[in-house]
Every structure is written in C-alpha cells, then in structure tokens.
Structure 1
Amino acid sequence: MAKQSILGRISTLIRANVNALIDQAEDPEKMLDQLVRDYTNSIADAESAIAETIGNLRLLERDHAEDVQAAGEWGAKALAASRKADEMRQAGSAADADKFDALAKIALQRQIGEENDAAAIAPTIAAQTEVVAKLKDGLNGMKQKLEQLKSKRSELLARAKVAEAQIKVHDAVSSIDILDPTSELGRFEDKVRRQEALAAGKQELAASSLDAQFAELEDIGELTEVEARLAALKAGGTTAIGG
C-alpha cells in the first residue's frame, strides 16, 4: 500500500502543469520553492521505496532460484535412486530395488514441492518487477521535472531581477524628468524676460514723461512771448514779429 501511495504521488507530481501553477500563484517564487521541496522530498521517498522494493524482489528471486535449484537436485537424486533400483532389480535384489524406488519417489515428491514453491513465487516476482520498473520510470520523470523546476526558478529570478532593474531605471528617469534642470532654466529665463520687459516699460514710461515735460516747456515759452507782445501793444509800441 505504501508503495502504491508513493507511485500515485509520483504520477500526480509528474502530471502537474508547472506553468499553470506558476500563473495561478500569487508569489511564483514561493510556489516554485515549495514545488522544489515537494519534488525533492518525494524523490527521497521514491528512492527509499524503490530500494526496499528492489531488496524484496531480490530476496524473492533468490528464493525462486533456490527452489528451482533444489527441484533440479531432487530430480537428479530421484533419477539416481531409480537407476540404482533398476540395477538392484537386474542383480536379483528385489528388496534393495524397492528401497531405492521408494527413495526415488521421496525425491520426486520433494522435487514437486520445490517446483510448486518456485511456481508460487513467480507471479509475485513478476508483479514486483513491474512495480520496480514503474517506480524507476517515475523517479526518472520526477528528477527531470525537478531540474525543470530549478531551471524555471532560475529563469524567473533572473527575469525578476531584470524587471527590478528596469523599474529602478524608469524611476530614476522619472525623477530626473520631474527635476528637469532645463525646465527650471526655462522658468528662470521667463522670469528674466518679464523683468527685462518691466524695465523696458519703465524706461519707455520715463521717456514719455520727459517728452511731455519738454513739450510743456515749449508751450510756456510761446505763452511768454505772447504776453510780451500784448504788453507792447498796450504800451503803444509796435513789436515786429520776429524782432
């Protein structure tokens, strides 16, 4: 029963779809680690079961070989006793002949018993041989699956490291974009341009005020000349224009 249980577990693990298990797992790395442990433990159990089964099989095979050998030896003894009985009967010794025939019969009974024992063991040997073959095949399949798992784990870890590095690079680039010195320079340049425009505006405004002041002075000059001419008219004098 224990061996059948081991064989069933081996079959289950070999049929397991590793990729599907990984896709369904929340943490693929932990899933792979657990699968590696399961397969490693099952391989150890399978190796122990196979070793025990092989040991029992070899004992059965040895017992079978001993039964076959014993049957052959008893057959040889029966033949020897039968020939001796024939010789005694030809020599006229019927009593001795009967004694050796009786020994031959005993030897034949022993031969039949050993042959029956050998025949009884044969089906068990065949069944155990089949179990051992299945266990060995299953063990080899599990070892291949274990190597596949280890390779998959290494591939997954490598991909995870690459992804992590890509994320770090992306984050670094994003942080550079956020603190882009060119954008700071652009804002600073815009500020300078606004200040320059303000200064230019003030200068233009100042220039306009000066022009107005000079124009006012010119107007005052004209009024003064008019006043002077009016005063001259009143005085009775004649003031030549431009004089």
Structure 2
Amino acid sequence: MSKQSILGRITQLAKANINALLDQAEDPQLMLDQMVRDYTNSIAEAESAVAQTIGNLRLTEQDYREDVDAANDWGRKALAASGKADELRAAGNAVDADKFDNLAKIALVRQLSSENEAKAAQPTIASQTQVVEQLKKGLDAMRGKLSELTAKRDELTARSKTAAAQQQVHDALKSIDLLDPTSEISRFEDKIRREEAKVLGQQELQASSLDAQFEGLEDLGREGEVEARLAALKAGGTTAITSGS
C-alpha cells in the first residue's frame, strides 16, 4: 500500500459524515455496528502501514546522519593527509608528499560523495516527514471518529431499547382499551343489581302475602263477633261495649 493510498483512505474515513450515512441506512444500529468493525479494522491496517512508513523514514534519517558523519570524517582525513604532505614537502620529501596529497584527494572525493548522498536524502526526508505527520493526524482523526461511532451506537442502542419498552407499554394500554375491562365490570354490576332487585321484589311480595293473611284473620274475627252479637239480640239481650281484659 503506497503512502498516497494510505493517506487517501485515512482522509476519506476521517471525513465520513456519520449522520448522512445513518439517514441512508435501513437499519442504523446494524450499520453502526458494521462501521465500528470497519473503522477498527481500518485503523489497525493504517497503524501498520503508518508504522512501516515511519520506519522507512527513520532508516532514511539514519542513512542521512551516516552520510553526514562520513563526509565530516573524510574531510578530517583529507585535512590530515594534506597537512602531512605539506610537512614532507617542507622537509624536501616530495615523493611521500605527493602520496599524501593523493590520499587527501581520495578523501575529498569520498567526502563529496557522502555529501551528495546526504543532500539527495534531504528532500526525501522532508516529504516523508510531512506524510508521516499527515498520517498521524489522520489516525488521530480516525480514532476520534471511532469514539464518535461507538458513542453513537451506544446511544442508538439505548434509545432503541427505550422505544421498544415504550411500544410494549403502548401496546398493553391499547389492548386494555380494546378489551375495556370497565365495561365487563359494569355488566357484572348490573347483573348483581338485578339480582338484588329480584330479592327485594321477592321480599316485598312475601311481605304482601303475610299482610293479606293477617287481614284475613282480622276479617274472621270481626265476623265471629258479629255473629255473637246477633245471637245475643235474638235472645233478647243487649250488646254493650266493655273495657279491660
């Protein structure tokens, strides 16, 4: 995976609009679960790629420092060889002086080579450093997006459970309304009132029957007294109202 594709993928994921994606989802909770898994996997892959990119940068930086150190070392060797050649030439030893001058030249060639390699590495190090910084920022953004996704998923899950519970209560209340137990109670109450009225009617009817019987007894008593008084009249006696027992 190239640095460009790594950076492009991280940027795309980090800029993903969660709300817009959720609006298009048939099942937002399932989509969030999948997005959390995808982000987690993408972050793991990106971390590995970024770590490799950082490793390559550190190797390039290490090579650069080695080239700089080598250039400085060859510079010191060239200076030493040139100084020795000057001493020998001053002492009249031109042959050995030329040998040390040649060594100084070789050292200078090596110095130039190391310097050129160090200079060539500088633009690469600068560009890789910029890419690494962008990748790190992208990873931080992805981690933040993952936290946002996880929080959104947890919120949606809680809201879904609450909505389900509210729907259950609503369905239960709706069932109660349809059954209307109060109407059953009212019918049962009416039945009891009718039974109570029937009992009252029976009691009233029974009371009327007893009154009629007692009235019959009173009529018989009056007829007996009338017959007694009639017999007394026929016998020539008189009737009188008496008091007491």
- TM norm. shorter chain > 0.5: yes
Secondary structure of 1:16's aligned partner: coil
Name 1:237's counterpart in structure 2: none
Question: What amino acid maps onto 1:167 in structure 2?
Answer: Q
In the TM superposition, what is the alpha-carbon distance from 1:100 to its structure 2 partner? 1.1
Name 1:155's counterpart in structure 2: 155
In the TM superposition, what is the alpha-carbon distance from 1:185 to its structure 2 partner? 2.4
Percent identity at matched positions?
67
Name 2:96's counterpart in structure 1: 96
Unaligned stretches of 5+ residues in structure 2? 202-245
Name 2:23's counterpart in structure 1: 23
In the TM superposition, what is the alpha-carbon distance from 1:32 to its structure 2 partner? 0.3
Larger mean CA deviation between 116-125 and 93-102 belongs to 93-102
Say whether residues 1:136 and 2:121 are aligned partners: no
In the TM superposition, what is the alpha-carbon distance from 1:179 to its structure 2 partner? 2.4
Secondary structure of 2:21's aligned partner: helix
In the TM superposition, what is the alpha-carbon distance from 1:2 to its structure 2 partner? 2.4
Secondary structure of 2:92's aligned partner: coil
**TM-score, normalising length from structure 1?**
0.76
In the TM superposition, what is the alpha-carbon distance from 1:186 to its structure 2 partner? 2.5
Write the distance in 1 (CA, Å) between the matches of 2:10 and 2:155. Answer: 25
Question: What amino acid maps onto 2:71 in structure 1?
Answer: A
Larger mean CA deviation between 99-108 and 155-164 belongs to 99-108
In the TM superposition, what is the alpha-carbon distance from 1:178 to its structure 2 partner? 2.2
Write the distance in 1 (CA, Å) between the matches of 2:138 and 2:101. Answer: 55
Name 1:222's counterpart in structure 2: none
Question: What amino acid maps onto 1:54 in structure 2?
Answer: I
Write the distance in 2 (CA, Å) between the matches of 1:16 and 1:185. Answer: 60
Question: What amino acid maps onto 2:12 in structure 1?
Answer: T
Larger mean CA deviation between 66-75 and 121-130 belongs to 121-130
| Contact 1:6 1:45 (8 Å CA) reproduced | no
Secondary structure of 1:92's aligned partner: coil
Question: What amino acid maps onto 1:122 in structure 2?
Answer: Q
Larger mean CA deviation between 84-93 and 151-160 belongs to 84-93
Secondary structure of 1:53's aligned partner: helix
Deviation string, structure 1 residues 145-182 (Cα, Å, up to 9, x no partner): 00110010000000000000101111111222222322
Name 2:228's counterpart in structure 1: none
Secondary structure of 1:26's aligned partner: coil
Question: What amino acid maps onto 1:166 in structure 2?
Answer: Q
Say whether residues 1:65 and 2:65 are aligned partners: yes
In the TM superposition, what is the alpha-carbon distance from 1:59 to its structure 2 partner? 1.1
Name 1:186's counterpart in structure 2: 186
Name 1:206's counterpart in structure 2: none
Root-mean-square deviation (CA, aligned residues, Å) is 2.2
Deviation string, structure 1 residues 86-135 (Cα, Å, up to 9, x no partner): 11121121222222111111111110000001111111111111111111
Say whether residues 1:123 and 2:123 are aligned partners: yes
Count of aligned pairs between the two proteins: 200
In the TM superposition, what is the alpha-carbon distance from 1:191 to its structure 2 partner? 6.5
Say whether residues 1:51 and 2:78 are aligned partners: no
Unaligned stretches of 5+ residues in structure 1? 201-243
Name 1:228's counterpart in structure 2: none
- The 4+ residue runs of structure 1 with deviation greater than 6 A are 191-197
Write the distance in 2 (CA, Å) between the matches of 1:87 and 1:188. Answer: 133
